[in-house]
Structure 1
Amino acid sequence: MLNNKSYKFTIIDIAVIVFIITSISLFFSRMSQALDYNWEWGVIPSYFFFWDAVTGELKANILVKGFATTVKLSFWATLIGFLLGTLSGIMGAKGSFEQRFISRTYVETIRNIPSLVLVIIFYYFVSSQFLDVLNLDKYLRSSSQTLQQTIGLLFSGPDQINAFLSAVIALGIYEGAYVSEIVRGGIISIPNGQWEASWSIGLSRQKTFLLVILPQTFRTVAFPLAGQFISTIKDSAIVSVISIQELTFQGMELMAATFLTFEIWITITFLYFILTFSLSRSVAFLERKYALK
C-alpha cells in the first residue's frame, strides 16, 4: 500500500534548501561585483508577450514561439521514435534472423553516431534530396490561409517546413534506437509461462503476442519509455544548428541582439526545466498510482 502520510522535512532537507538558496544568492552577488554586471530582468517579460500597437492585441513574442516549436518538435519526434522503436524492438526480440539483423544493425549504427551529426546529415540529405523535390513549401505558400495556419500550428510555416520535418525525422530515428532496446528488453522479460498459458486456451502465436505479451510489455516499460521521451525534449536543442527556431535558437538570437547573456540563458534553462520537470513529476505520479500493490 502507498504511504499517504504527509511528508515531513528533515534537517538534511532544510540544509539542502539553505545550501541551494545560498549558492544562487552568491552567484548573483559575484556576477554583480566581480564582472560588474548589471542585471536587467525587467525586459525579459517583453520577450514572452507584447502588445501589438496596430491591433491592440497581446501577441506571443520570440521566447513563447521558440517554446512552442520545441514542444511541437519533441512531440512529433517522440511519436516517430515510439513507432519506429516499437517495430524494431519487436523485430529484435521475436523476429526472424533477418529481422533481428536489421534491428541490431539499426540500433548499433544509430546509437554510435552523435545526434548532432545525424541531424546535420538528415538536413543536407533528406531536406535537399527528398523534401525539396516534393515542393511542400511551395505548395503551402500557394494554399489557403486556413491550411497554412493549421500546418503552422501543428508543424511549422512554409519557410521552415522542410527543415522542421528533416529535424523531426532525424530526432525520431535517433530516439527510436533507444526505444527499440527498451521494448526489446520488455518483451524478453515476459516469462515463457505467459506464452504457454495463452496457447493452452487456444490462442495462436500472433494473438498471444498482440493480446497478451505486448500489453504486458508496455506496462513493464512504460516508465523507462517516459524517461526516454523526456530526454527527447533536451535532445531537441541540437536542431538549433540547422536554424530551426526552437527555444535554444531563439535564445541565441535574442542574446546576440540584446547582449543580455545571463538573463537570457537563465530564462531558457528555466523554461526547459519547467517542461521536463513537469513531465517527470507526472510520470512519477503515474508510476506511484499504477504500481503493483
Structure 2
Amino acid sequence: MTAEAARPAPRGLRWRRLRGIAVDLGQFALFLGLIGWLLAEGAGRMGYNWQWYRVPRYLFQAFDGEIYPGPLLKGLLVTLEISAIALLLTVVIGLGAALLRLSGSLAGRWLVVGYVEAIRNTPLLVQLYIVYFILAPVLGMDRFWAGVLCLAAFEGAFATEIFRGGILAVRRGQWEAAWALGLSRGAAYRRVVLPQALRVILPPLAGLGVSLVKHSAIVSVIAVFDLTNEGRNIISDTFMTFEIWLTVAALYLCVTLLLSTGVGLLERRLKGAMA
C-alpha cells in the first residue's frame, strides 16, 4: 500500500460522502413514508380497522416457556424448501440443456430449442396444472414435488439461456489453449470454460433465484402449504387482509434480499480470486 493510499481522505471529501449517504437514507425513508401513507390512507377511506397486534401470534407462539413457529413461519419454511430444491434442479437443467444446445447433436439442439420456446412462451399457471393433473399421476408424484418440478422446468428454460450466454462469452482463444493442452471437451468445460463463464453467469442467475422464490407462491393454487397459502388461510379466518399480506410480502422481501446479498458477496469474492 502506498503512502497516498494509506493517507486519510480530506475532511471535505469525507463530509461530501457522509452528506451523500444521509441524502440517500433520507430519500429511502421518504419513499417508505409515502408508501405507508398511501396504505393507511387507502385503508382509512375503506373504513379498515388495523389489527397489527394480532399478527405476532401467526409468526410464533409461546407455550410453557418454549417458542414455536406459527403458521406463517411454517409456511416460510416450506417456501424455502421448495425454492432450494427447485433452484438446484434449475441449475442442473439449465447447465445440461445449455451444453446440449452447444453440442454437435442436431436433434439435441432442436430439442432444447423446443423446450425453451415452449416454456418461456406459455403461462406458468398453465404449466403447473399440466404437471399436477397430467404428469404427476403418471409419475406418482405428490403435490409438493409437482410444484418443485414445474418451477424447476420453468426457471430452467431461462437458466439455459443464461448458461449458454456465459459460455459463449468466453473467448475462443481459451478453447484453443485447452485443446492445445490436450484436454477433452468435458475437461475443457470443467477446468477452463465454466470457471471463467461463472463471472458472467452469476449475476443473472442470482436474479433468476430471486424470481424463483417469488414464483414459488404459485404452488399455493394446488394446496401446497407454503407461505402464500398459509397467509390466505389466515385471512379467510381473521379478515386481516392488509396486515397478513404485508407481513407475507415482508417475509418474501427478507428472503430475496438475503439471497441477493449473499450472491453479491460471492461475486465480489470470485472477482477478487480471479483478478
Could you say which TM-score interval applies, normalised by the shorter chain? 0.7 to 0.9
CA contact (8 A) 1:62 1:250 kept: yes
Which residue number in structure 1 is paired with residue 54 of structure 2?
43
Deviations 1:81-138 (A, max 9, x none): 1101110011112342111111111111111111111111111112222216xxxxxx
From the superposition, tell whether residues 18 and 206 of structure 1 become closer, same or farther in structure 2 (CA, over 3 Å): closer
CA contact (8 A) 2:199 2:271 kept: no
Distance of 2:210 and 2:223 partners within structure 1:
22
Give every structure 1 segment of 4 or more consecutive aligned residues whose post-TM-superposition deviation is greater than 6 Å.
none
Query: Aligned letter for 1:8?
Result: L
Which residue number in structure 2 is paired with residue 109 of structure 1?
118
Distance of 1:234 and 1:281 partners within structure 2:
16
User: What TM-score, normalized by structure 2, do the two folds share?
Assistant: 0.86
For residue 28 of structure 1, report the CA deviation from its aligned partner.
Answer: 4.8
Distance of 2:223 and 2:106 partners within structure 1:
41
CA contact (8 A) 2:85 2:148 kept: yes
Distance of 1:106 and 1:29 partners within structure 2:
46
SS in 1 for 2:225: coil
1:183 matched to 2:192:
no
Which residue number in structure 1 is paired with residue 5 of structure 2?
none
Query: Aligned letter for 1:163?
Result: R
RMSD between superposed Cα atoms in Å: 2.3
CA contact (8 A) 1:48 1:61 kept: yes
CA contact (8 A) 1:119 1:170 kept: yes
1:215 matched to 2:195:
yes
CA contact (8 A) 1:93 1:188 kept: no
From the superposition, tell whether residues 214 and 94 of structure 1 become closer, same or farther in structure 2 (CA, over 3 Å): farther
Given candidates 266, 273, 276, the residue that maps to 2:253 is 273
Distance of 2:19 and 2:125 partners within structure 1:
42
1:251 matched to 2:260:
no
How many residues are treated as equivalent by the alignment? 260
1:263 matched to 2:272:
no
Unaligned stretches of 5+ residues in structure 2 = 1-7
Which residue number in structure 2 is paired with residue 23 of structure 1?
34
Given candidates 180, 187, 190, the residue that maps to 1:200 is 180
SS in 1 for 2:68: strand
Unaligned stretches of 5+ residues in structure 1 = 133-161
CA contact (8 A) 1:107 1:177 kept: yes
CA contact (8 A) 2:147 2:219 kept: yes
From the superposition, tell whether residues 28 and 187 of structure 1 become closer, same or farther in structure 2 (CA, over 3 Å): closer
Which residue number in structure 1 is paired with residue 219 of structure 2?
239
